[in-house]
Amino acid sequence: MAATTADGSKVVGGGEKSNVDEESKMITLFSSDGERFEVTQEAAAMSQTIHHMMEDGCVDDEGVHLPNVGSSILAMVIEYCNRHVASPDEKEDIRSFDAGFVNVEHHTLFDIIRAANYLDVKELMDLCCQTVADSIKSKSVEEIRELFGIVNDFTPEEEAEIRKENQWAFE
Amino acid sequence: MDDGEPAPPAAQRQSKKKSMPHIPHELVEVILSHLPVESLLRFSRVCKAWRSTISLHASVKPCLLISPQTLRDGKVHSDTVILYRWEDSRQGAALPVVHATDMSSDVIMHGLAHCDGLILLPSEAAVRVLNPATRRTLTLPWSPGAEPPPPGPNVPLYHQSFGFGHDPRSNAYKVARFFYRSIYAPGSGECLYTTGMEVFTIGTDQHWRETTKDPPYPVFTRHTATFYKGSLLWSIDERVLGHKPPGFLRFSLEDEAFGVMPPPPSCYRRLYYVWCALAELRGELCLAFKGANMKTIELWMCDNTMNPQWNQRYSINAISCSPPYFNPIAVFDDEIVFKDWHFSTRRYNLKTKTYQDEFHMKDLQYHNPITGMLGYQGRRFAYFDVIPYTPSLVPI
């Protein structure tokens, strides 16, 4: 849903005007790769990180630089925030939006989790972590290691000991 | 699509797809906190860091369990005790079943109790302890205390009351059973009764053991005790006692001795023990009852049962027209979840001082895993027991 405006900056979310709208108070966010995003202050405030910066008066005319978040992921986070501030009471719509939102590959989910953690957007963190948890809860130990890129640092004896302790869980 | 890099050649694209972005361990911990206990147990084999995180039990969230009970012949019965996890976010969906226990015959259920992930399922006929996470169930042996004394007029319908908790000294879980050896209430004059208490230590005892001394006070039957910091607390039955009780009957699991926990000093006379409730909320002991004017509910807190320094923490507007019953169950975030009568559970937000919408537990969906059908065909729900629950892997 991104539209490119005359000066090349991207505006993300529900068809808002690209000009600074006095009444809806826009704020500019810069991704790590220099892309520029205009967001309402209300949506930006869903990020506690940005919210505190706004409260502490740390946001200047230029906007907020987010060196830890790439543009593709930032676009998704902004889409989430826009949607959630737009109609917070329409639970059914939001639920189906959320379900579609997390219907992405694991590595994208991990990127969103890292971004949501950095930006401190609690609802998005919970949503994505719960999604990852639901998708991994029935996986085998080997599949978990592969997914998270983990090297097994147990000796075979140690692993056998744990298996024995927790035998009932392998029924 | 990625951050502006040129597309790599095919061979590199393949290997790039396999390498996942690194996710720091503190975020892995957050993901782990959303997993059920069975998965956590299995994943403790993934690597040493995961095992360490999981074994710290920091990942396990408390929740609420609901146990619907049905009515037959005017009495609350269950032939199957089914525990459902109440989840706020899943309105309209059937509640997930945590555990189903076939009691083999219709039994009259007492209040359930929870301690460290273990659940006591006490009934008139049989007593069981269960850990839903490990799926282990222990049926306690029969005992002489289970036999009711001869029935008579003016006496309570049931003769026993249970308690369940953890003894820190022996690091064992104990079930206690209060019972009336005899009880007789002539039309005029005081009630005559003799009491008894027996204890079963899980993992140690083969049989129930009677305490050396009998309980010094009569308690309400079928009202399961509240466990707090090593002691069980029962409400004393003032009708049987014949006068205002000095407080709550306290039974220490450590030395298996009796005492009395006094109420707040200003409450001695005005407390109706049949209508008050004790619960552990966020590490403190909470006493809840309706004020004399019936318009407010008073919540008093203390932090020990031996010499409680009660302080009145909250005064909440009572919901009008309901019986004076406010039974706090747990606190989640800043909201007290409580039962206000047989069918409804409400939440009260301590910060905004408002009630959330109540929900009638009859309106929730219960999938009966035994029959495979939704609901309990033909039988009316009579009562819903609601208890807090924190999964654990404690063995029994």
B185-198, pLDDT tens digit by residue?
877 778 899 999 99
Q: pLDDT tens for residues B110-147?
A: 899 999 889 999 988 889 999 888 778 999 999 887 88
CB distance B95 to B366 below 8 Å: yes
DSSP A92-120: HHHHHHHHHHT-S-HHHHHHHHHHHHHHT
Q: Does the structure show a pLDDT above 60 at A18?
A: no
- Sequence-distant (≥ 6) Cβ neighbours of residue B36 within 8 angstroms: A137, B391
Residue B199 contacts residue B217 (beta carbons within 8 Å): no
| Closest approach of B18 to chain A, Cα-based (Å) | 9
Question: CB distance A113–B23 less than 8 Å?
Answer: yes
How big is the A-B interface in CB pairs under 8 Å?
91
Alpha carbons A100 and A113: distance in angstroms, whole number: 16
Question: Can you give the pLDDT at residue B198?
Answer: 96
CA dist list (Å): B27 to A14, A81, A138: 31, 21, 19
Residue B276, both tokens: 């008050």
> pTM of the prediction?
0.68
Cβ neighbors of B212 (< 8 A, separation 6 or more) are B256
Residue B289's SS3 state is strand
Q: Do B47 and A145 touch (CB under 8 A)?
A: yes
Question: What's CA B287's distance to the chain center, in Å?
Answer: 15
Minimum distance, in Å, between the CA of residue A150 and any CA atom of chain B: 7
- Give the chain A residue nearest B51 (alpha carbons): A162
The pLDDT value given to residue B358: 67
Find chain B residues with C-beta within 8 A of A110's C-beta: 20-21, 23
Contacts of A114 in chain B (CB under 8 A): 21, 23-24, 27
Q: Are B263 and B246 a contacting pair, CB within 8 Å?
A: no
What is the nearest CA distance from A23 to chain B, expressed in angstroms?
30
Question: Is residue A166 helix, strand or coil?
Answer: coil
ipTM beyond cut 0.95:
no
Per-residue pLDDT band for A108 (boundaries 50, 70, 90) equals: very high
Q: Is residue B357 within 8 angstroms of chain A, CB to CB?
A: no
CB contact under 8 A, A169 and B30: no
B15, B31, B134, best to mutate vs chain A, most A CBs in 10 Å: B31
- Is residue A112 within 8 A of residue A101, CB to CB? The reply is no
pLDDT computed for residue B10 by the predictor: 46
Given a cut of 90, whether residue B383 has pLDDT beyond it is no
Residue A22's pLDDT is what? 46
**CA-to-CA distance for B348 and B24, rounded, in angstroms?**
37
Give contacts of A168 with chain B, Cβ < 8 Å: 134-136
What is the rounded distance in angstroms from the CA atom of residue B273 to the CA atom of residue B247? 9
Average pLDDT over residues B229-258: 95
Asked if A42 contacts A85 with a C-beta cutoff of 8 angstroms, the reply is: yes
Residue-by-residue DSSP string for B267-278: GTTT--GGG-EE
Determine which of A60-69, B148-157, B210-219, B224-233 has the lowest per-residue pLDDT on average: B148-157
Hey, what are B112's tokens? 């359930």
- The two three-digit tokens of residue B355, written as one number: 């009630």
**HSE-up of residue B350 (Cα within 13 Å, Cβ side):** 16
Contacts of B50 in chain A (CB under 8 A): 150
Q: Which residues of A touch B (CB under 8 A)?
A: 32-33, 70-72, 106-107, 110-111, 113-114, 117, 125-126, 129-130, 132-134, 136-138, 141, 144-145, 147-154, 159, 162-163, 166, 168-170
A169 and B41 within 8 Å at the Cβ level: the answer is yes
**Is it the case that residue A101 has pLDDT exceeding 90?**
yes
* Residue A117: band (very low, low, confident or very high) from pLDDT cuts 50, 70, 90: very high
- Per-residue pLDDT at B1 exceeds 50: no
Q: Give the residue-averaged pLDDT of B76-103.
A: 70
**N-to-C CA span, chain A:** 48
Which amino acid appears at position B315 of this protein? Answer: S
Q: Using the predicted structure, report yes or no on whether residue B173 has a pLDDT greater than 70.
A: yes
CB atoms within 10 A of CB B270: 12
Chain A hits for B59, CB-CB cut-off 8 Å, are none
Q: d(Cα A54, Cα A45) in Å, to the nearest integer? A: 8
* Ranges B9-23, B35-49, B143-157, B217-231: which has the least confidence: B9-23
pLDDT for A17 beyond 50: no
**Mean of the per-residue pLDDT values for chain A?**
83
Residue B74's pLDDT is what?
Answer: 61
pLDDT digits (tens, 9 = 90+) for A127-165: 999 999 999 999 999 999 998 989 999 999 988 887 776
**What are the angstrom distances between the C-alpha of A81 and each of A45, A112, B119, B123?**
9, 13, 41, 51
Q: Which residues of chain B are within 8 Å of residue A36 when distances are taken between CB atoms?
A: none
- pLDDT of residue B43 exceeding 60, the answer is yes
B355 versus B252: which is more confidently predicted?
B252
Distance between A22 CA and the closest CA of chain B, angstroms: 32
Task: Name which of A107, A129, A169 is nearest B20 (Cβ-Cβ).
Answer: A107
> What pLDDT is recorded for position A81?
95
Cβ within 8 Å, pair A166-B41: yes
Note the pLDDT of residue B5: 47
- pLDDT at A88 exceeding the cut of 80: no
Mean pLDDT of B368-379: 61
Closest approach of chain B CAs to the CA of A112, in angstroms?
A: 11
Indicate if the pLDDT at residue A5 is higher than 90: no
Question: Is the pLDDT reported for residue B70 higher than 70?
Answer: yes
Residues of chain B with Cβ-Cβ distance to A153 below 8 Å are: 47-48
Structure tokens at B190: 């005081």
Q: What percentage of chain B has pLDDT greater than the value 70?
A: 81
- Counting Cα atoms < 13 Å in the Cβ hemisphere of A167 gives 5
pLDDT class for A15, splitting at 50, 70, 90? very low
Question: How far apart, in whole angstroms, are the C-alpha atoms of residue B333 and residue B326?
Answer: 19
Confidence class of residue B94 from pLDDT cuts 50, 70 and 90?
A: low
CB neighbour list of residue A63: distance below 8 Å, 6 or more residues apart: A27, A28, A29, A30, A36
Residues in CB range of A32: below 8 A, 6 or more apart: A66, A67, A68, A69, A70, A71, B3
**Higher-scoring residue by pLDDT: B264, B103:** B264
The reply to whether B38 touches chain A by the CB within 8 Å rule is yes
Please say whether the beta carbons of B358 and B339 come within 8 A. no
| pLDDT confidence bin for B33, thresholds 50/70/90 | confident
Sequence letter at residue A138? S
In sequence order, what are the beta bridge partners of B120?
B113, B129
In this complex, do A150 and B32 lie within 8 Å of one another by their Cβ atoms? Answer: no
Q: How confident is the model at residue B21 (pLDDT cuts 50, 70, 90)?
A: low
- Residue B3: what pLDDT? 44
Of B2, B36, B47, which is closest to A150 when you measure between CB atoms? B47
Among A47, A50, A48, A68, which Cα is nearest to A58's? Answer: A50
Question: Hey, how many other C-beta atoms are within 10 angstroms of the C-beta on B258?
Answer: 16
**Calpha distance B35→B169 (Å, rounded):** 32
Contacts 24+ apart (CB under 8 A), B339-344: B339/B384, B339/B386, B342/B382, B342/B383, B342/B384, B343/B381, B343/B384
- B97 pLDDT band, cuts 50/70/90, is confident
Exposure on the CB side of residue B205, measured as CA atoms within 13 A: 21
pLDDT digits (tens, 9 = 90+) for B270-325: 888 888 999 999 899 999 988 877 788 899 999 999 999 999 998 888 775 566 67
Q: What is the pLDDT of residue B11?
A: 44
Contact B47 A162 (CB under 8 A): no
Task: State the DSSP code for B219.
Answer: B
A113–B134 CB contact, under 8 Å: no
Average pLDDT, chain B: 82
Chain B contact set for A74 (CB, 8 A):
none
**β-bridge pairing A10-12 and A36-40:** parallel
pLDDT greater than 60 at residue B32:
yes
Please indicate whether, in this complex, the C-beta atoms of B31 and A129 are within 8 angstroms of each other.
yes
Taking an 8 Å cut-off on Cβ atoms, the answer to whether B22 and A149 are in contact is yes
**B35 interfaces chain A, CB cutoff of 8 Å:** yes
What residue in A sits closest to B31 (Cα-Cα)?
A: A129
CB–CB contact A166 B44 (8 Å)? yes
Burial B47-71 (b: 16+ CB within 10 A, else e): beebbebbeeeebbeebbbbbbbbe
Residue B57 pLDDT level (bands cut at 50, 70, 90) = low
At B262 the pLDDT is: 96
Mean pLDDT, range B202-228, rounded to an integer? 95
Q: How far apart are the C-alpha atoms of B214 and B211, rounded to whole Å?
A: 7
Query: Which band of pLDDT confidence, cut at 50, 70 and 90, is reported for residue B84?
Result: confident
Q: Does B41 touch chain A (CB under 8 A)?
A: yes
Arithmetic mean of pLDDT, B217-236: 96
